[in-house]
Amino acid sequence: MARPVADGVYLLGVSWPEPVGSNAYLVDDGEVTLVDAGLPIPRRSLDGELHDAGYGAADIDRILLTHYDVDHVGGLARLDVDAPVYIGAADADLVRRRWSPPWNHHKGAFHRLVRRLYSLAEIDLRTVEDGDRIGGFRAVHTPGHNPGHTVYLNDGLDAGLLGDLVWESDGHFVAPPWLDSYDTDCIADSIRRVAGESFEHACVGHGRPVSPGGSDRLRELAAEL
């Protein structure tokens, strides 16, 4: 069931129990934004979760992808929506084959294979650079987990859509592991950067949203790194 995280921010219950799948969020700040889309085969349908939150696919003004991983983009294939889709420039290059990671990189090799199945070819895909404004969101490039990983901050709703910058565990944050990342040192730098921001509602891809005190928990992790 979709549930509110804060006014205008909804967690959509598409994720299977951890460690399978990831969260998707709906944000309504006067415009309606879907942030990430879950797996191709979700625990609950994305359409159904949108309906539970009081919306339909036709209400979506845009889709923001934090990064290109199947558990964050796969659900787009089941969603009939005519809206632009935004993703970090480096991940756009990856999925569009303008850049290819080396075969001897553990996650890079996986991406070279999976992009053949999930090419996002029929999607109006638009690139996002650090500092870009998309509606009420500000994009912060946070490489490490993926080269183009991007966090979206909505200052009007005091919310940070963090994707896989961090994972939640027992109310605290942990950094994604080496096996699921490109560069863990880069992740640490990205965490420290976003920890300098201020937001109450931290919406993560894995685990539960942390609200209130989202950026406080992120600063705790940054201090440990």
Q: Please report, for the chain, the start and end positions of each structural domain, with discontinuous segments joined by +.
A: 3-224
Nearest one of 134, 139, 193, 143 to 164, comparing CA atoms: 143
Q: Following DSSP, what letter does each residue of 140-182 receive, concatenated?
A: EE--SSSTT-EEEEETTTTEEEEETSSEEETTEEEPPPGGG-S
Return the pLDDT at 1: 86
- Structure tokens given for 87: 């993703």
The pTM score is 0.97
Return the pLDDT at 19: 73
**Position 163: which residue type?**
G
Return the pLDDT at 106: 96
Return the pLDDT at 17: 84
Euclidean distance between CA atoms 128 and 151, whole angstroms: 11
Determine how many CB atoms are found less than 10 A away from the CB of residue 157: 21
Where the chain has pLDDT below 50, the residues are none
Euclidean distance between CA atoms 180 and 106, whole angstroms: 8
Euclidean distance between CA atoms 55 and 75, whole angstroms: 17
**Sign of the CA dihedral 12, 217, 195, 142?**
negative
- Structure tokens given for 178: 């080496």
Determine how many CB atoms are found less than 10 A away from the CB of residue 201: 24
Return the pLDDT at 121: 85
At 155, phi and psi to the nearest 5? Answer: -65, -30
HSE, side-chain direction, 13 A CA sphere, residue 60: 25
Return the pLDDT at 176: 97
Looking at CATH, the fold of the domain delimited by 3-224 is given as Metallo-beta-lactamase; Chain A (3.60.15)
